[in-house]
Amino acid sequence: MTNPLISPTAAHAASRFGRAPTLPFASWLVLLLSLPAKAGTGRMRVWRELKALGCATLRDGVYLLPDAPQHAQALQAVAATVKEAQGSAELFQLQARDAAQEVAMCERFDRGADFAALIDAARELHEALPGTDAASAQRQLHGLERRYSHTCAIDYFAGSAQRQAGDALEVVRAALMRQFSPDEPQAKPARPIVPLCASDYHGRVWATRARPWADRLASAWLIRRHIDPQARFVWLADPKDCAPQWLGFDFDGARFSHVGARVTFETLLASFGLESHTALARLGALVHALDVGGHAVAEAPGVSAMLAGLLASEPDDDALLAQAMQVFDWLLQGLAGDRA
């Protein structure tokens, strides 16, 4: 009798998932559960929890995840939900019998279709950009980025599909930036960042584009709090107005701007040896998400709404920065105390 877990294309799958069919084999967690027919609400809750975890289904009531402590904990939580709904659940650990069976198990976690759907949606958004307003385009892009982040989190055997979807989102992100924020700096090719001493940059005039948004506000906060406490800021109507003796930031040709995947805030962190500061690094991830998108950061929507309110209510850029300084002070305190 043929074992239904053994794939006839095991060698192809092994190559695709980057897993060589050699011993020793990984172990797996298997949750066996049964729910009473009348447990409609409980059944739906269990289904949602299993879907969020990215479980593979071996058959009805039998669910699989790669063996890892966090997966064991999560499946135990699902088992508790099942029992609350008057069902039964048992968690087992097993190993594949041979290389072909292990590869067949890996195949059950293929997220290729999910990433292909994301790529199609990204292309549709890209094509529709000329007739889409900025708020709607940004909202749609954030939705795609959330889908991408979730799919990546359950893509346990990542391959080219994940990279292709990420590339498709990057193309849309760049097109959106070109259409709605043409003055935003374009990232320079990745290059080594020369370490600098903050004391050499005290008492300087720093210049950036007027009506600053997240990256410029956060960078100004970082400059004043951690690099140049006596910094004075000039808000430029046109970056070409930046005087040679001023330190420009966050525009093309500025002394400090985007480098590779880094936004200006992250470039400043790297330049002045601040990346090892855990809370500042986490704030950098938040600023990155606010400025160019990418992986979702939980705090980003709330901070974005707050900064948008400040920008709309404060026409003077110096006063705007004074208000934003307090916001970033609070954020740093929160990030330092939360999971530091």
> What per-residue confidence (pLDDT) applies to 187?
58
> What per-residue confidence (pLDDT) applies to 21?
37
At 97, list the tokens.
Answer: 């019998």
Q: pLDDT tier at 4 (50, 70, 90 boundaries)?
A: very low
At 319, list the tokens.
Answer: 């006063």
Give pTM, 2 decimals: 0.53
Q: Is the dihedral of CA 312, 317, 319, 322 positive or negative?
A: positive
Query: What is the average per-residue pLDDT within 130-158?
Result: 89
Query: What is the average per-residue pLDDT within 309-326?
Result: 95
pLDDT reading at 2 higher than 50: no
pLDDT reading at 17 higher than 60: no
Q: What is the pLDDT of residues 24-75, one digit of tens each?
A: 346 899 999 999 988 788 889 999 999 999 999 999 999 999 999 999 999 9
Query: What is the average per-residue pLDDT within 291-297?
Result: 74
Summary mean pLDDT of the chain: 85
> What per-residue confidence (pLDDT) applies to 28?
93
> What per-residue confidence (pLDDT) applies to 184?
66
Greatest Cα pair distance in the chain: 80
Domains and CATH numbers, the chain: 26-107 (3.30.70.240), 112-180 (no CATH), 198-337 (no CATH)
At 338, list the tokens.
Answer: 């939360």
Strand 56-59 and strand 27-34: the pairing is unpaired
> What per-residue confidence (pLDDT) applies to 259?
87
Q: What is the pLDDT of residues 62-92, one digit of tens each?
A: 999 999 999 999 999 999 999 999 999 999 9
DSSP secondary structure of 100-128: HHHHHHHHTT--HHHHHHHHHHHHHHHHH
pLDDT reading at 313 higher than 90: yes
| Highest mean pLDDT pick, 115-124, 216-225, 249-258 | 216-225
In whole angstroms, what is the distance from residue 282 CA to residue 67 CA?
Answer: 29
Residue ranges of the alpha helices (H) in 187-299? 214-222, 264-271, 278-292
Q: Which of 52-66, 189-203, 248-262 has the lowest mean pLDDT?
A: 189-203
